[in-house]
Amino acid sequence: SQTIHQWPATLVQPVGSPLSLECTVEGTSNPNLYWYRQAAGRGLQLLFYSVGIGQISSEVPQNLSASRPQDRQFILSSKKLLLSDSGFYLCAWEGSPNYGYTFGSGTRLTVV
């Protein structure tokens, strides 16, 4: 069966520090992969999506970046975090378009 792993679960980082969040999927190949951010009390904002290795599309300009070095690995990064980067980050995968997402358990990022 397919599973999705996302880590770390929580992270407290100082302003200006780098960030790396990792997401891996098991049990499937060539999934569509997504990074969403959920601010407190708000809905989900799509940050990046990827339909294949090395293929990244950005939905919102910001100081975050994403990479997909392997088929089932999706990484969210930042060189210098801002206070406004705080939030709940969710990785998701989809086996085929409009099949429905499977989400990871999320990373709670607090920038201090």
Partner 1 sequence: AQSVTQPDIHITVSEGASLELRCNYSYGATPYLFWYVQSPGQGLQLLLKYFSGDTLVQGIKGFEAEFKRSQSSFNLRKPSVHWSDAAEYFCAVGSDTGGFKTIFGAGTRLFVKA
The total number of residues shown for the chain amounts to 112
Interface with partner 1 includes 43 (CB under 8 A)?
yes
Interface with partner 1 includes 5 (CB under 8 A)?
no
Phi, psi (degrees; rounded to nearest 5) at 24:
-130, 150
Interface with partner 1 includes 62 (CB under 8 A)?
no
Interface with partner 1 includes 1 (CB under 8 A)?
no
Interface with partner 1 includes 11 (CB under 8 A)?
no
CA 45 to chain centre: 11
| Choices 12-20, 62-70, 76-84, 90-98; region in contact with partner 1 by CB under 8 A | 90-98
Interface with partner 1 includes 44 (CB under 8 A)?
yes
Interface residue with partner 1 among 11, 65, 67, 101 (CB under 8 A) is 101
Rounded CA-CA distance 11/15 in Å is 12
Interface with partner 1 includes 29 (CB under 8 A)?
no
* Structure tokens, 63: 């100081």
Cis peptide before 14 (omega within 30 of 0): no
Which of 49, 111, 43, 53 lies closest to 82 in space, CA to CA?
Answer: 111
User: Site residues (CB under 8 A) for partner 1?
Assistant: 6, 32, 34, 42-44, 46, 49, 51, 57, 90, 92, 94, 96-106, 108
